[in-house]
């Protein structure tokens, strides 16, 4: 029954995975084998997907399997048929899928559809068998678990509800907001397990935003608090069994190792800067080394090695291996990292704030150059934004960094409150827009513009190239009594050299006749220029211009420029908003025809190319759309 | 130097207040007198304003005075010239103003401009002398204080930063999010004082959302924790002095009594339902009784009574006494209270969630009738919304209650997350719109529609009368895989009897010719009907219609109806949003002329009438605007 299988990527790389449909609960050695096999599957699915979170998946997989073994035993003993487990941190989705696969909820092939359109979402979504709720934005887990507990009580259903949190996630305020009423309502059915791997995105939890005395904080909130070894399935299992009769909600801190099970993944570099396996896939070489280490462990075990006897290696051709860059590609992030360092040197009033995303928001250079003016806030966006507020009131220019979804939706009221003080604060929202799509809609900011546009006095920019980034920041700094939101598309960077700055707000990327594309951001600027190149083959010479200052009225010069065209296509990477629409409508003078190529609603997730195509925002779809209107 | 003065309201009521420009720091009995005099001033200013928070102002005034005495002493001793005090809860603004007045930052007359246009804001704003930051949305205080600490460190300015929190406010997650990095950065300059009056808006803190072991939670976060008597100025003062050399940030829980100093304000009714003096002014009789009690205390004290010898009673005529209703007026809140009870009886799947605003969100009846299906979440909006999410996933229909600003801006990401699960959840946002304006922009939701309209699948309703409320709820309940936002204007209720339901989405309130007003919500429906009546005097017979389902496309019947007019005025109580605008623009067929009478940016605060006039949304301004276009 137990055996390994192999899928072969186009590159020739063999992805080893472990096939098994069911736990064998009678044999605890079987669980140990499952823990190792699941690690192979996590790695295979991430390697096939081209991205995913290895470290947190390896640190949490044993806990997940222990919880499922525990639930299965309660089913068999008729204690409960309705136990609920879900993971709040969500970026451990590859582990969750490996565990669901081991449990029999997912079939083998599904593992290889991780982060694919209509496949397994980058963060858990309810469409997947065994997934109870959508997660991916940190901090919501305990509240969600309480909702399940309340629902089960109302339905008189006996159930234990176990939610897995990350240890960095404990920095979110909602976690602590959620504790007291669970205690008040004696939610003894509720179990929180923290995957205590002690490393968050940027660094060690203790250096970043320490827990201090976690047990005191939790017990002080009226909960029971226990610790255990999160890699000892039997210990976790016994702890869950032993605590069934407790009267209080239970909080377990499971000591784990990030990347546990593979020595290279367990390593934190000596430079102390970044753990290397928080997110992203690995090279072929690392993949081979890691799987070899796991298989060696299997072979080294007397019982497990007997399971290996059944290994088969059929060769199955998979689809094209997605793009996994060996070096970090140029983007507005890398550009920002250098430019930020430069302006902080020039402007002493700049203070930067970051919420555990230094690598992805480009603060990694400046935090070294200007440690006093760098505030690492941890995963605490509301705290970060309110701190920025009073720094601004005190005469500083705070630049606030996070991913665009988290930055615009978690601390919305705090941003509004700051805006009522009419100070200058720059909010930098990264990973903005439809792409990268693999992580799913919790990370795909498409309503960020609508929300930030509702904040009084907010200036909104979406640069597409290095020059526009610099220009946007320059303009934002000059706005001394109003805040600015800089939307940073993190994929690609439009070349600045083929741009002719106008005196107005438009930058002309390509001259043309009759038809003009107006767009913003690196992704759609690049796609639009490509679309124009495609249309040239059909004899159409269309223009492309970018308007980085999204909610600024067009100047006379802009209008003059636009009025030379017959048709204008607005190509947008976000849901429609009032001010952008109206400012274009103002231009709808006699003879000018305006159309929108954009998106609305919940964005799809999957590989970048397939999602871009799905929403009709790739260069070919844009070109087709324009061409179809011409014909 | 010390004496009392009187202002006389139009009603004949004498408002007694205490004039003093400076503390006498040498004489601690003087401080005791200040505490009593400040209470007179709090009461006089709230009575003149017609609204304000008495209980929390009386519980916190002694703490505030102690902090200012402490700061003054540090100034004199040249320890620090730059200490900062602010109140995070903000609804204790009347106490803050009384303290700033005692300190000499505000002059006598300013006290009587509480909650007036261009006067003293209902919650603190930075335009006021002595106010350091805008507050009013709970939970931001510690983060803001940390911003000040960081700024002072960067400027090498020696300063202690003291922030006052409410004890109910401790339920906000941001409070707990803020603690750890203050400890990490050894922010010994930072002092949190909690006004521990033990009663929040709905009930006792311990029943609502208990602190459990607050000291453990705070110490566990790496802070020092102390308790004191918040009404003993000397004790507070000594505690602040004694802790100056501590290495950790300091958290003081000051035991206080809500409404302290006046026996009727200290009373919690035997029915256990609501403390009566959380918000709102008092009747003339209660005012007289309360001031008499305070003055009796002054007379009963040997030292203090000598101060009374200087009392003068000049008669100063004040402006018109604002409307202070004796009985609770009919509104959509009272209507909802009854209707909610009714539908919960019919529909067992409804579960209601509330964030400590039972009285103002109308859950006060249903929470008694259906205690099992009522979840009191405390001031924990994020927790509330995520709980609602999983209740919905479990087959229930959650109806979530809070004020519209808090509900749409604090848990925005949680609402978005729920929306991605495509479940039915009803969000009820109260106090929505420009009015009531006295509390200020932290409570005036005017960007709620823009934000909720950015959430995928969100249905948006703004009923203006009982029938529209019922119809909106009915439609929302039928939307089984998408959420709904019901915007409740809390002032007034349009009569349902002069409404002719159409088959489409419009309800015709008044038939007319050539000119049509399209509006929503009770306030603007009433003002629009009044405007139509005013215009009738000029011989204009204009129509008025409401469209409660704000983001629904117009039906053929609606368009047929509208096309009979020449001009349409859209009268809106919120900032512009895309979908509403575009759906009207679709109607801009040949010959139809569309204009908007609405608002944008930060709303003004002051008395309702003056703010409505300021924004041109009162009936006369609307009539003038329409008339001017006709002429």
B69's tokens: 């005495």
Place of tokens 């705290």: A383
From the number of C-beta atoms within 10 Å of its C-beta (0-12, 13-18, 19+), residue A236 rates as buried
Strand ranges in A483-589 using DSSP code E only, listed in sequence order? 484-487, 500-501, 507-510, 514-519, 543-546, 565-571
Buried b (16+ CB within 10 A) or exposed e, B177-206: bbbbbbbbbebbbbbbbbbbbbbbbbbebe
CB–CB contact B209 A377 (8 Å): no
Rg, C-alpha atoms of chain B: 26
Place of tokens 């990401």: B413
Q: Of all residues in chain B, what percent carry a pLDDT higher than 70?
A: 93
pTM of the model as a whole = 0.94
Kindly list the residues from chain B whose CB atom is less than 8 angstroms away from the CB atom of residue A408: 412
B386's tokens: 């995520």
**Nearest of B195, B236, B201, B171 to residue B57 by alpha carbon:** B195
Tell me how far CA of residue A221 lies from CA of A485, B47, B147, B167, B387, in angstroms: 37, 40, 27, 15, 18
**Nearest of B581, B570, B577, B583 to residue B617 by alpha carbon:** B570
CA distance B94 to B53: 7
Q: Residue B140: which of A146, A414, A419 has the nearest Cβ?
A: A414
Does A286 touch chain B if contact means CB atoms closer than 8 Å?
Answer: no
DSSP state of B549: B
Q: How many residues does chain B have?
A: 631
pLDDT at B314 over 50: no
Query: What is the chain A residue with the closest CA to B407?
Result: A413
- pLDDT by residue (tens digit) across B76-97? 999 999 999 999 999 999 999 9
Does B459 touch chain A if contact means CB atoms closer than 8 Å?
Answer: no
Under 8 Å between Cβ of B88 and B95: no
Q: Residue B581: which of A125, A414, A578 has the nearest Cβ?
A: A578
Torsion angles phi and psi, residue A451, rounded to 5: -70, -50
CA A52 to mean position of chain CA atoms? 10
Kindly list the residues from chain B whose CB atom is less than 8 angstroms away from the CB atom of residue A124: none
Regions of chain A where pLDDT drops below 70: 1-3, 20-27, 303-327, 498, 501-503, 588-590, 631
CB–CB contact B174 A145 (8 Å): no
Does A370 touch chain B if contact means CB atoms closer than 8 Å?
Answer: no
CB–CB contact A181 B376 (8 Å): yes
Does A457 touch chain B if contact means CB atoms closer than 8 Å?
Answer: yes
How far does A76 lie from chain B, in Å, by closest CA?
23
For residue A331, whether the previous peptide bond is cis, meaning omega lies within 30 degrees of 0, is: no
DSSP state of A329: P
Strand ranges in A342-491 using DSSP code E only, listed in sequence order? 350-354, 374-376, 397-403, 426-430, 459-461, 484-487
- pLDDT by residue (tens digit) across A122-154? 999 999 999 999 999 999 999 999 999 999 999
CB–CB contact B216 A216 (8 Å): yes
CB–CB contact A178 B147 (8 Å): no
A54's tokens: 């290895």
CB–CB contact B413 A417 (8 Å): no
Chain B interface, mutation test: which of A85, A130, A140, A205, most B Cβ atoms within 10 Å?
A140
Q: Residue A220: which of B142, B216, B387 has the nearest Cβ?
A: B216
| pLDDT of amino acid B321 | 37
Kindly list the residues from chain B whose CB atom is less than 8 angstroms away from the CB atom of residue A410: 412-413
Query: What is the chain B residue with the closest CA to A418?
Result: B134
What is the sign, positive or negative, of the torsion defined by CA atoms of A403, A408, A412, A417? positive
pLDDT at B498 over 90: no
Q: What is the dihedral of CA A342, A344, A347, A353, to 10 degrees?
A: 150
How far does B604 lie from chain A, in Å, by closest CA?
11
Interface of A with B in 140-179 (CB under 8 A): 140, 142-148, 150-152, 154-155, 171-178
Kindly list the residues from chain B whose CB atom is less than 8 angstroms away from the CB atom of residue A586: none
Does A444 touch chain B if contact means CB atoms closer than 8 Å?
Answer: no
Starting at the edge strand found earlier in the chain, the sheet holding B161-166 runs: B84-87, B161-166, B190-196, B250-255, B224-229
| pLDDT of amino acid A314 | 44
DSSP state of B569: E
Torsion angles phi and psi, residue A18, rounded to 5: -110, 120
Neighbouring CB atoms inside 10 A of A325's CB total 9
Q: What is the dihedral of CA A237, A243, A248, A250, to 10 degrees?
A: -20
B8 half-sphere exposure, CB direction, 13 A CA radius: 8
From the number of C-beta atoms within 10 Å of its C-beta (0-12, 13-18, 19+), residue B454 rates as buried
Question: Mapping DSSP to helix (H, G, I), strand (E, B) and coil, where does residue A304 land?
Answer: helix
CB–CB contact A410 B412 (8 Å): yes
Q: Are strands B397-403 and B426-430 parallel, antiparallel or unpaired?
A: parallel
ipTM confidence score? 0.94
Residues with Cβ within 8 Å of A473's Cβ and at least 6 positions away in sequence, in order, are: A339, A343, A426, A486
Place of tokens 């029915």: B271
Strand ranges in A435-524 using DSSP code E only, listed in sequence order? 459-461, 484-487, 500-501, 507-510, 514-519
CB–CB contact A412 B414 (8 Å): no
Q: How many residues does chain A have?
A: 631
CA distance B520 to B550: 8
Which of A49-63, A344-358, B494-508, B527-541 comes out lowest in average pLDDT? B494-508
Does B183 touch chain A if contact means CB atoms closer than 8 Å?
Answer: yes
| pLDDT of amino acid A497 | 73
Q: Residue B578: which of A155, A177, A576 has the nearest Cβ?
A: A576
- pLDDT by residue (tens digit) across A368-388? 999 999 999 999 999 999 999
CA B244 to mean position of chain CA atoms? 35
Greatest alpha-carbon pair distance for chain B in Å reads 82
CB–CB contact B420 A387 (8 Å): no
pLDDT at B316 over 50: no
pLDDT at B157 over 90: yes
Kindly list the residues from chain B whose CB atom is less than 8 angstroms away from the CB atom of residue A585: 585
Kindly list the residues from chain A whose CB atom is less than 8 angstroms away from the CB atom of residue B134: 417, 420-421
Q: Where are the alpha helices (DSSP H) in A251-363?
A: 263-266, 284-300, 302-308, 332-346, 358-361
Under 8 Å between Cβ of A472 and A463: yes
How far does A312 lie from chain B, in Å, by closest CA?
40
CB–CB contact A148 B421 (8 Å): no
| pLDDT of amino acid A322 | 41
The residue ranking higher by pLDDT, A287 or B301, is A287
| pLDDT of amino acid B364 | 94
B287's tokens: 């005012």
pLDDT at B310 over 70: no
What is the sign, positive or negative, of the torsion defined by CA atoms of B435, B441, B443, B448? positive
Does A82 touch chain B if contact means CB atoms closer than 8 Å?
Answer: no
CB–CB contact B454 A447 (8 Å): yes
| pLDDT of amino acid A269 | 83
Residues with Cβ within 8 Å of B13's Cβ and at least 6 positions away in sequence, in order, are: B47, B284, B287, B288, B321
Tell me how far CA of residue A579 lies from CA of A505, A552, A586, B460, B573, in angstroms: 15, 9, 10, 20, 17
- pLDDT by residue (tens digit) across B590-599? 678 889 999 9
Does A388 touch chain B if contact means CB atoms closer than 8 Å?
Answer: yes
CB–CB contact B388 A453 (8 Å): no
Q: Residue B454: which of A133, A372, A451 has the nearest Cβ?
A: A451
pLDDT at B318 over 70: no
Chain A interface, mutation test: which of B181, B483, B572, most A Cβ atoms within 10 Å?
B181
Kindly list the residues from chain B whose CB atom is less than 8 angstroms away from the CB atom of residue A349: none
pLDDT at B303 over 80: no
pLDDT at B352 over 50: yes
A531's tokens: 């679309």
Residues with Cβ within 8 Å of B144's Cβ and at least 6 positions away in sequence, in order, are: A386, A387, A389, A390, B86, B88, B133, B135, B163
Neighbouring CB atoms inside 10 A of A180's CB total 26
Torsion angles phi and psi, residue B550, rounded to 5: -65, -35
CB–CB contact B174 A173 (8 Å): yes
pLDDT at B135 over 70: yes
Question: Mapping DSSP to helix (H, G, I), strand (E, B) and coil, where does residue A507 land?
Answer: strand
Residues with Cβ within 8 Å of B434's Cβ and at least 6 positions away in sequence, in order, are: B444, B446, B523, B573, B599, B603, B611, B612, B615, B617
Average pLDDT, chain A: 91
């Amino acid at each position: 029954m137990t055996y390994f299988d192999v899928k072969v990527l186009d590159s020739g790389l063999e992805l080893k995975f472990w096939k098994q449909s069911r736990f064998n609960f009678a044999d605890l050695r079987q669980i140990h084998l499952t823990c190792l096999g699941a690690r192979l599957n996590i790695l295979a699915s991430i390697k096939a997907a081209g991205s995913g979170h290895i470290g947190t998946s390896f640190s949490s997989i044993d806990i997940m399997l222990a919880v499922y073994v525990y639930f299965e035993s309660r089913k068999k003993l008729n204690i409960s048929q309705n136990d609920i487990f879900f993971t709040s941190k969500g970026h451990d989705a590859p582990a969750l899928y490996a565990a669901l696969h081991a449990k029999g909820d997912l079939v083998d092939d599904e593992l290889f559809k991780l982060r694919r359109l209509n496949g397994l979402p980058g963060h858990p979504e309810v469409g997947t068998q065994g997934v109870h709720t959508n997660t991916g934005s940190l901090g919501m887990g305990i509240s969600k678990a309480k909702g399940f507990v309340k629902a089960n009580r109302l339905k008189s259903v006996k159930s234990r509800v176990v939610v897995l949190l990350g240890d960095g996630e404990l920095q979110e305020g909602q976690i602590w907001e959620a504790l007291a009423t669970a205690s008040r309502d004696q939610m003894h059915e509720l179990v929180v397990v923290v995957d205590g791997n002690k490393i968050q995105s940027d660094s060690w939890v203790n250096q970043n935003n320490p827990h201090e005395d976690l047990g005191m904080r939790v017990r002080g909130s009226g909960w029971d608090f226990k610790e255990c070894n999160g890699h000892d399935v039997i210990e976790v299992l016994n702890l869950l069994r032993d605590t069934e009769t407790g009267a209080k909600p239970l909080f377990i801190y499971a000591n784990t190792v990030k990347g546990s099970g593979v020595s290279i993944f367990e390593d934190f570099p000596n430079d102390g800067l970044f753990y290397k396996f928080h997110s992203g896939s690995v090279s072929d070489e690392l993949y081979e080394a890691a799987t070899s280490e796991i298989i060696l462990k299997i072979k080294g075990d007397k019982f497990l090695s007997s399971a290996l006897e059944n290994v088969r290696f059929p060769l199955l051709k998979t689809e094209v291996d997605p793009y996994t860059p060996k070096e970090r590609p140029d983007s507005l992030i890398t550009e920002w990292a250098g430019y930020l360092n430069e302006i902080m040197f020039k402007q002493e009033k700049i203070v930067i704030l970051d919420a555990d995303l230094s690598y992805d928001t480009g603060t990694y250079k400046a935090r070294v150059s200007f440690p006093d003016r760098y505030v690492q806030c941890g995963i605490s966006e509301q705290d970060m934004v309110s701190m920025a507020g009073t720094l601004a009131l005190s005469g500083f220019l705070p630049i606030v960094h996070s991913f665009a979804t988290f930055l615009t939706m978690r601390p919305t009221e705090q941003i509004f409150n700051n805006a009522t003080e009419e100070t200058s604060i720059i909010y930098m929202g990264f990973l903005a827009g439809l792409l990268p799509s693999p992580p799913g809609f919790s990370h795909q900011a498409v309503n960020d513009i609508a929300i930030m546009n509702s904040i009084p006095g907010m200036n909104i920019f979406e640069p597409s190239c290095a020059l526009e980034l610099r220009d946007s920041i320059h303009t934002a700094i000059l706005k001394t009594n109003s805040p600015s939101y800089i939307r940073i598309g993190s994929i690609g960077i439009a070349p600045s050299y083929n741009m002719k700055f106008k005196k107005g707000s438009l930058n002309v990327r390509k001259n043309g006749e009759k038809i003009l594309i107006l767009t913003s951001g690196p992704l759609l600027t690049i796609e639009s220029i490509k679309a124009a190149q495609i249309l040239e083959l059909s004899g159409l010479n269309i223009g492309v211009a970018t308007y980085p200052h999204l909610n600024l009225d067009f100047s006379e010069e802009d209008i003059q420029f636009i009025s030379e065209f017959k048709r204008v296509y607005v190509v947008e990477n976000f849901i429609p908003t009032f001010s952008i629409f109206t400012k274009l409508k103002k231009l709808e003078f006699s003879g000018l025809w305006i159309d929108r190529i954009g998106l609305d609603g919940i964005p799809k997730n999957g590989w970048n190319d397939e999602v871009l195509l799905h929403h009709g925002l790739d260069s070919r779809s844009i070109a087709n759309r324009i061409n179809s209107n011409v014909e």
